[in-house]
Amino acid sequence: MNPKLRSAGAAAVTQARRHPEILRAVAIGVVAYIGFSIAESGFSTINNLYTIVEGLIFLGLGALAFGLTMIAGELDLAVPSTAAVAGVVALLHTDTIITGLLMGILCGLIIGLVQGLLVWRIGLHSVVITLGTSTALLGIAELFSPTTLVLRNLDLASDIQHRLFIFSPGSFIAIGLFGLAGFGLQRTRWGAEIRAIGGGRNEAVAAGIPMWRPIITVFTASGVISAILGVLASLSVGSVGPPYFQNLLLQAVAAALIGGVSLYGGRGTAFGIAVGVLTLRFVISGMSLGGNKFFVINMAIGLLLLFVVVIEIASDRGALARYATYGKRLVTWERKTGTRAAE
């Protein structure tokens, strides 16, 4: 066998052993794709695949924003409302795509930064804080868009949706953000700190990680990604309003969990989230082509999510025990030596 192929195969096996949740997500996605390709003749067409990939903009970026905070052991419930506010801001500044995008990103950056500061300083769980900010942001979005805003420059919508095989400029931006998030999680200090506080907060503090840095980083990233989602969605559809994002949260959570993000925090990858998003899009698209009603599709998504959660709980009992044992050993070592673990 070619040494390069052997090396690549060994690397793939190693990654699969390190991240079995990704292997599980890929397996579910492959089964869904093959099953619906056989059941529905129109499923594997170029037009339908284009529609599925376009889901990386709306559902994909929503799942990425929410999944990053889950990896950190937090929950950003304000993802849909941040997207709504950013979408409104973008439609109010539609001279060019760049203007709307920059204004929306600035809005999301400020929202994420403020939420991160509140979570860190107040010390309450992020569910409480982001629930409050989500409600406030929805009110702001309603205030500036008492009726649904409509894009006046329709050329912007056609530019965002310009088709390139099964991709578009919007989906390329979404794929780029997934790649950037994946690099940040796996290759940077900030990513290591985010995973550390999610896997064991007390242990991370004992190891000398300053809590403010990963918390503010992950919420700021979530805010920016949510804002880009809102801008791209509003410009591609040509209109925006808070109701447009009301179903985003549930599907984003489902996609993140299907993609291998741990319920307990500390584990998850951008690639896994992308696989979870595509799997969910396969299910939605395949069942829609089959003529199933909306509530039936939601039931199927719920059952799939329940299946993934049961596997997650069953497989993570050992991990929880290891986290607890490691924490006790680290604290005991620190007390005996009178020193802190290296950062």
Q: Is the pLDDT of residue 330 over 50?
A: no
Cβ atoms of 304 and 258 within 8 Å: the answer is yes
pLDDT of residue 342: 38
CATH of 19-337, one of 1.20.120, 1.10.3470, 3.40.50, 1.10.10: 1.10.3470
| pLDDT band at residue 138 under the 50/70/90 scheme | confident
Lowest mean pLDDT among 10-14, 251-255, 335-339: 10-14
Cα separation of 42 and 242, whole Å? 32
Residue 195's contacts (CB-CB under 8 Å, 6 or more residues apart) are: 71, 72, 185, 266, 267
Q: Is the pLDDT of residue 225 over 80?
A: yes
> What mean pLDDT comes out for the span 250-272?
90
Rounded (5°) CA angle 7-11-16:
150
Cα separation of 57 and 175, whole Å? 9
Q: Is the pLDDT of residue 299 over 70?
A: yes
Cα separation of 21 and 27, whole Å? 10
Per residue in 160-187, pLDDT (tens digit) is 667 788 888 888 999 999 999 999 999 9
pLDDT of residue 236: 77
Lowest mean pLDDT among 22-26, 29-33, 226-230, 283-287: 22-26
Confidence (pTM): 0.83
Angle between helices 212-237 and 169-187 (to 10 degrees): 170
pLDDT of residue 17: 59
Instruction: Show the 3-state SS of the chain.
Output: CCHHHHHHHHHHHHHHHHCHHHHHHHHHHHHHHHHHHHHCCCCCCHHHHHHHHHHHHHHHHHHHHHHHHHHCCCCCCCHHHHHHHHHHHHHCCCCCHHHHHHHHHHHHHHHHHHHHHHHHHHCCCHHHHHHHHHHHHHHHHHHHCCCCEECCCHHHHHHHCCCECCECHHHHHHHHHHHHHHHHHHHCHHHHHHHHHHHCHHHHHHCCCCCHHHHHHHHHHHHHHHHHHHHHHHHHHCEECHHHHCCHHHHHHHHHHHCCCCCCCCCCCHHHHHHHHHHHHHHHHHHHHCCCCHHHHHHHHHHHHHHHHHHHHHHCHHHHHHHHHHHHHHHHHHHHHCCCCCC
The distance from CA 33 to its chain's CA centroid, rounded to whole angstroms, is 21
pLDDT of residue 110: 96
pLDDT of residue 41: 86
Q: Where are the domains of the chain?
A: 19-337
The distance from CA 181 to its chain's CA centroid, rounded to whole angstroms, is 10
Lowest mean pLDDT among 66-70, 282-286, 303-307: 303-307
| pLDDT band at residue 323 under the 50/70/90 scheme | very low
Per residue in 15-68, pLDDT (tens digit) is 555 667 788 888 889 999 999 999 888 898 999 999 899 888 889 999 999 999
Mean pLDDT rounded to a whole number for the chain? 82
pLDDT of residue 34: 93
| pLDDT band at residue 78 under the 50/70/90 scheme | very high
Residue 108's φ and ψ, nearest 5 degrees, are: -65, -35
Q: Is the pLDDT of residue 340 over 50?
A: no
| pLDDT band at residue 150 under the 50/70/90 scheme | low
Q: Is the pLDDT of residue 2 over 70?
A: no
